Amino acid sequence: MSEARPSVAIMTTTPSDLDAAAVLRASSEALVRRRLDQVAEMELLAQWAAIHSDDAAGGMVQVGGEGTPLVREHCLGEIALAREAGDVATRNTLADVLDLQHRLPRCWVMVRAGKVEPWVACKVARLSRALGADAVPVVDAAVARMLGHESPGRILDVAAAKVIEADVAAYEARVEAERRRRYLAIGRTDEHGLRTLIARIEAADAVWIDATVSRVAEIITPQHEHADADELRAIALGYLARPAELLALLAEEVTPAGDLPIDSTQDGSPEEPNRAIAFPERLLDRLRGVDWSKLAPKAVLYLHLHEAALAGRAGVVRGEDAIGPRTLGQLHGLLRGAKVTIKPVIDLHDAVAYTAYEHPVSLKERVHLRSGGDYWPWARSTSRHVDYDHVVPFTDAPPGDPPPQTGTHNSGPLGRTHHRWKTFAGYRTWQIGPASYLWRTPHGWVFLSDHRGTYRLL
């Protein structure tokens, strides 16, 4: 498999001599030159390793993944000096290059052709380094198809999922090893009486802590009129350290005021419970009868999975937002103890339309699932928190004509910045399929954005 490197023109004029169209061309050419310059540096480093790959002097080490050649242990110091780089950075870069050349050859072809940022391919190499030589081709084949057509974020998401798929058992072993590195640390009290809390915990626990903190912050907002969102969340986190106060706070949201008994002192005044020892006994007795499930935070979890996972075979589940790719076992841990409502699968082949300007929630759902995220060329975002745009502007129809419609035939998600660019900067767009969009830039560059990624046509 080979691909010729692109020819790149050398700029002989200064940027101030260029018009808008020439600046666009020069920017594209400069991008490719920069990438090829980085590839040249990587190839020089690989050649240095090849020169020092004989074992006559002994002391050989493997800096890359399984299947990469050995190099002399002490050969990197000199080349690091020539590169004006640290030895650790040089060793890491060499490991990436050797992995690309010997373990990810399809990706390496795209890197050498200037089709992708080298750092993206290097990140894929690091993600897949723990895989055996027989498993890593799964990652190479999947990622190589995306290079040059998808944003770095989407490429790395797929790479992470393919690393799991390639060797689920090895991935679960790595997860277990990392689980043993969980910790909770608390810093020193500063001059303002504040401390920093840092934790590395289960992803599922982190999600539930975040949801609980958000719920408490919502409840206490009226008590802290001048606090911003970050301060409210910090105050809310403190309630987790005082379970009694936390239960009381949450209980007030489901139990009418005055319905709970309060112990009194001998003189008849209300008893002030000690924060350290929780509630008075009679109050605790009443709280034990409360259905605490009503207090659980509510969330909607969107998951994407292959039918193989539903059939019980090894499969990867991709969660939206910050959840990312996970195994089915990890999904069980995330949902443990939760009340789960499974919504019907939406048939994305159905076309729907509404005679109104606004996008109903049901339409947004379909549009997002079809497109997978922001439909701007090479956009990274796969979030649902975007604008839902009429690809062709929505206009009032003349009298007697059919009214304009908002539907799957003329809709796409756009990040706010991309939406503003499309609206005010002279772009034209056409929807040519269920999730296929043509873009024409103000200076005539044409892109196709669809489920396969982004392709420049003109």
Pair (161, 24) in one structural domain:
yes
- Is the distance from CB of 393 to CB of 429 less than 8 angstroms? no
Same domain, 230 and 379: no
What's the pLDDT at 260? Answer: 42
Tokens 């912050």 -> residue: 217
Residues 287 and 311 in one domain: no
The answer as to whether 308 is a domain residue is yes
Q: Which residues pair with 353 in a beta bridge?
A: 407
Same domain, 320 and 376: no
Torsion of CA 36, 42, 47, 48, to 10 degrees: 140
Print pLDDT tens along the chain (458 aa).
455 566 656 656 788 888 999 999 999 999 999 999 999 999 999 999 999 987 765 688 999 999 999 998 888 888 998 998 888 999 999 999 999 999 999 999 999 999 999 999 999 999 999 999 999 999 999 999 999 999 999 999 999 999 999 999 999 898 899 989 999 998 887 777 788 999 999 888 888 899 889 989 999 999 998 999 999 999 999 988 887 778 878 777 654 444 444 444 555 555 554 443 345 567 656 766 767 666 666 667 777 777 777 776 667 887 776 677 777 777 777 776 677 777 777 888 888 988 888 999 889 989 998 888 899 998 888 888 899 999 988 875 556 667 788 999 999 999 999 999 999 988 999 999 989 999 999 999 999 999 889 999 98
Three-state SS across 149-201? Answer: CCCHHHHHHHHHHHHHHHCHHHHHHHHHHHHCCCEEEECCCCCCCCCCEEEEC
Strands, E assignment, 37-113: 60-61, 71-72
Determine, yes or no, domain membership for 220. yes
On the CB side of 263, how many CA atoms lie within 13 Å of its CA?
15
Same domain as 380, residue 243: no
Q: Which amino acid is at 199?
A: A
Residue 154 shares a structural domain with residue 208 = no
Compute the CA torsion angle 31, 34, 40, 45 (nearest 10 deg): -120
Torsion, CA 156, CA 162, CA 167, CA 169, rounded to 10: 70
Total of domains in the chain: 4
Residues 54 and 109 in one domain: yes
Contact 363, 408 (CB under 8 A): yes
Task: Compute how many other C-beta atoms are within 10 angstroms of the C-beta atom of residue 301.
Answer: 14
Q: Is residue 342 part of a domain?
A: no
Residues 109 and 31 in one domain: yes
User: What DSSP character marks residue 32?
Assistant: H
Quick check: 310 and 301 in contact, CB under 8 A? no
For residue 186, is it within any domain? no
Say how far residue 121 (Cα) sits from the centre of its chain. 17
For residues 38 and 156, membership in a common domain is answered with yes
The whole domain housing 278 covers 196-295
Residue 263 has a pLDDT of 47
Three-state DSSP class for residue 378 = coil
Residues 6+ apart with CB under 8 A from 120: 147, 152, 155, 156
Is residue 6 situated within a structural domain? no
Question: What residue type is 336 in one-letter code?
Answer: R
* Rounded Cα distance, 211 and 287, in Å: 22
Alpha-carbon span 163 to 84, nearest angstrom: 33
**Residue 176, helix vs strand vs coil:** helix
CA quadruple 403, 409, 410, 414: dihedral, nearest 10: 150
Listing DSSP states for 197-212 in one string gives EEEE--HHHHHHHHHH
344 falls within a domain: no
The encoded tokens of residue 65 equal: 């993944």
On whether both 25 and 168 belong to a single domain, the answer is yes
Contact status, residue 394 vs residue 442, Cβ threshold 8 Å = no
The answer to whether the CB of 187 falls within 8 A of the CB of 316 is no
pLDDT at 114: 95
Shared-domain flag, residues 56 and 90: yes
Q: Which amino acid is present at 290?
A: V
Q: Do 316 and 379 fall into the same domain? A: no
CA-based nearest residue to 319, from 299, 338, 339, 348: 299
> Can you tell me the distance from the alpha carbon of 338 to that of 332, in angstroms, rounded to the nearest whole number?
10
Residue 347 within any structural domain of the chain: no
Is the separation of the CB atoms in 144 and 110 below 8 Å?
yes
Q: What SS3 class is residue 318? A: strand
Q: Rounded to a whole number, what is the distance in angstroms from the first to the last CA of the chain?
A: 26
Q: What is the largest CA-CA distance in the chain?
A: 94
Instruction: Answer yes or no: is 180 within a domain.
Output: no
CA distance 325 to 315: 10
